[in-house]
Amino acid sequence: MEYRHVSVLRDEAVSMLNCAPGKTIVDCTVGGAGHSALILENILPDGILVGIDQDVKAIDAARQVLEPCSENVYLVHDNFVNLPLVLARIGIDAADGILADLGLSLFQIRTSGRGFSFEGDEPLDMRMNTNNPVTAASIVNESDEAELEAIFSEYGEERWARRIAAEIIRRRGDTAISRTKDLVDIVMSSIPKRAIATSRIHPATRVFMALRIAVNRELEVLGEFIDRAVDYLLPGGRLCIISFHSLEDRIVKHRFRDLAETCKCSKDLPVCVCTHEPKIRVVSRKPVRASEEEVEANPMSRSAVMRVAEKLGLQGQHREGGE
């Protein structure tokens, strides 16, 4: 099965990671190794790249692409929230740079056959890691109405969440909902015709996104991952996160802000009395976005937002040489 993906903000991410020969960089979402290949070019001959992905097909694809440099590469099939364990198993204490390019690859959407897309008709699976027990079908068929409504409204910001949840409960009475086409039909029949006619996106977009986020626990692991990644960076090391929707970006932005905070005192106190030390400085005051040329060449890059943080030293000092 051919693995296809067009990397987003590739040059920008690799440049922000301050890659240089001899460095250790962790690509937490190795995918088709688009970012990783360029990282490797910049850290060879003696640098180390660790590539993590929770989709075993991505690990297989990355292994092929990175084969010529296999002595400098470790590829690990795991969730990036397990970063400390992954690094411990390899024997790495800390890294110079960590990258997470969130979301799905083109391969997962178009060719994996796991029902990530509302186009076509595939099993309702949506697992990035097919070893995990929870699928989109199990959520759709086993959650109660309130749970379904919460998933669609919280993760998909879907206006018609209540109606869609109610229609799922009504339809699944006789036979289980098992195909993407069934779910698209349910969404189309739950939303008022007027709303369908005026929608700028496919009416099932938000429901599919919400289910995918729930199946893969995408938002639940992100905040924890950021804390762990910062702990495993060397002073001066950088964490780059590329996200593709506002809920993810909000988590990154808020987590970075908390970790960069210099004082935890109550606002009522006239002077700072805490001994709190910030862990990072935020390098990207404004998030980095794809250029017009990149968006034209790859429309998927339109929603990409990259934020970058730099690990501070023990006394809150960052290494000279950054922006």
* Identity of the residue, 97 or 103, whose beta carbon is nearer to ligand SAM in the bound complex: 103
- 112 near ligand SAM (CB under 6 A): no
Q: Do 81 and 221 contact (CB within 8 A), yes or no?
A: yes
Minimal distance, residue 52 CB to ligand SAM, in Å: 5
Contact string (CB under 6 A) for ligand SAM, positions 244-263, x = contact: --------------------
CA torsion, points 47, 12, 16, 323, in degrees to nearest 10? 140
Alpha carbon distance, N-terminus to C-terminus of the chain: 42
Backbone angles phi, psi at 179, to 5 degrees: -120, 155
- 204 near ligand SAM (CB under 6 A): no
Minimal distance, residue 33 CB to ligand SAM, in Å: 6
* Identity of the residue, 105 or 180, whose beta carbon is nearer to ligand SAM in the bound complex: 105
d(CA 53, CA 76): 7
- 301 near ligand SAM (CB under 6 A): no
Instruction: Give the residue, chosen from 47, 51, 97, 103, that forms a contact with ligand SAM under the rule CB under 6 A.
Output: 103
CA torsion, points 100, 104, 106, 111, in degrees to nearest 10? 140
Of residues 4-63, which lie at the interface with ligand SAM (CB under 6 A)?
5, 7, 29, 31-35, 52-55, 58
d(CA 250, CA 149): 22
For residue 316, give the 3-state DSSP assignment: coil
Minimal distance, residue 298 CB to ligand SAM, in Å: 11
Task: Tell the residue number behind the tokens 């698209």, with chain if given.
Answer: 184
**Would you tell me which residues interact with ligand SAM (CB under 6 A)?**
5, 7, 29, 31-35, 52-55, 58, 79-80, 101, 103, 105, 128, 221
